[in-house]
Amino acid sequence: MARSISKVAPGWWDYTTLDPRLLADAAKLTAEDLLKLSRDGFEVTVYDTLEEFYCAEALEYVRTWQEATADNPVGICGPIGPTEQLPLVARIVNALNVDLKHAHFWGMDEWIENGKPVSMEHPLSFAKADMELCFNRIRPELRMPGENIHFPVDLESYSRSFDSVRCRIMQGGQGEVKHWAFNDPPKREGDWQHQPLPPGAYLQLKSRITELHPMTIIQNARTSGGGYVPQVPLQAATVGPVETWKSDCVSIWHPGHHDNAFGIRLTALMISKRLSDTSVPMSLLADHPHVKFSYYRGGIGTVEAQMH
């Protein structure tokens, strides 16, 4: 059966090219249905309040860092989006006097302009957000050493660091194009005009510079720049599937405003049913041994026609 052409970007693969029956099944899911999608290796949790949601997300950082010792360095790979947990991380670390000298952190991605990662002077810099919202708020005597904070600048060194330090959790959100980090769907080109790149080939991708799907550019302008599209770069450096599979757990957080009500249903359904398709990169996590989806109940919404 021939795959549909994308409704939003004809030169790309994305979720609009999937079987309409699968899309319809996802649209019907209720909040209670989402909980029933849990299976061995895939855990779905729903939080009733935003306070509890972001507190639980922040505690993933702290609990991870509390495991780190001189003989067993441990870290977390974290996102920009959601970011509301980051000040909470700093506050908890300070309150509990958590010494971070053996802990590690990986920034998940960064914008690329003119072939290089943007500096912290760029208004959308992810490294800048991590430092200002979290690390600079931690008391100096508790902070992790600068060499333990890994941003995707030198990508070879960045990738190798996942072999020398245990990444206990890779934490992230979900974009409208159904990515984690900037693992966007592939372009519709070359050998992949009629079918998207096979999952096995996608999973071989390491940390890299990647071109961004138009939907990703629009989303980031909306969520981070007041809709100012010209400010958003067209490329980004991103952690890849190779490094993701070196992480003990992939933990995805859905507050309800990064992706929409339909999208946060579709990926859970595909992971639960082990339906891997590179037009929905998040679905490839179906083959990861430990994936968690956490939802804010008030952000789950419904998939129905509403005129605004």
Taking only the tens place, the pLDDT of each residue in 31-75 is: 999 999 999 999 999 999 999 999 999 999 999 999 999 999 999
State mean pLDDT over 198-224.
Answer: 95
pLDDT attached to residue 161 = 98
Q: Residue 167: enclosing H or E segment and its boundaries?
A: strand 166-172
Q: What is the pLDDT of residues 2-15, one digit of tens each?
A: 799 999 999 999 99
pLDDT attached to residue 81 = 81
- Check: CB of residue 212 under 8 Å from CB of residue 234: yes
pLDDT attached to residue 225 = 82
State mean pLDDT over 148-165.
Answer: 97
Asked whether residue 79 carries a pLDDT value surpassing 80, the answer given is yes
pLDDT band per the 50, 70, 90 thresholds, residue 224: confident
- Check: CB of residue 130 under 8 Å from CB of residue 78: yes
What is the rounded distance in angstroms from the CA atom of residue 6 to the CA atom of residue 188?
Answer: 10
pLDDT attached to residue 80 = 84
pLDDT attached to residue 67 = 98
Report residue 79 as tokens: 């996102």
What is the separation of C-alpha 212 from the centre of its chain, rounded to a whole number of angstroms?
Answer: 14
pLDDT attached to residue 130 = 97
Amino acid at 242: V
- Check: CB of residue 216 under 8 Å from CB of residue 184: yes
pLDDT band per the 50, 70, 90 thresholds, residue 1: low
pTM of the predicted protein model: 0.96
Of the chain, the percentage scoring pLDDT greater than 90 comes to 92
Asked whether residue 88 carries a pLDDT value surpassing 90, the answer given is yes
Q: What is the pLDDT of residues 241-293, one digit of tens each?
A: 999 999 999 999 999 988 999 999 999 999 999 999 999 999 999 999 999 99
For the chain, give the mean pLDDT.
96
pLDDT attached to residue 153 = 94
139-152 b/e (C-beta count within 10 Å ≥ 16 → b):
eeebbbeeebbbbb
What is the rounded distance in angstroms from the CA atom of residue 281 to the CA atom of residue 199?
Answer: 9
State mean pLDDT over 207-234.
Answer: 92
- Check: CB of residue 123 under 8 Å from CB of residue 143: no
Q: What is the pLDDT of residues 165-182, one digit of tens each?
A: 999 999 999 999 999 999
What would the DSSP string read from start to end of 216-262? HHHHHHHHHSTT-GGGS-SEEEE--HHHHTTEEEEEEEE-SSSS-TT
Sequence-separated (6 or more) residues with CB below 8 Å from residue 106: 75, 76, 77, 78, 150, 151, 158, 161, 162, 167, 239
Cα-Cα-Cα-Cα dihedral sign, residues 219, 220, 223, 226 = negative
What is the rounded distance in angstroms from the CA atom of residue 19 to the CA atom of residue 307?
Answer: 26
Between 227 and 112, residue with greater pLDDT: 112
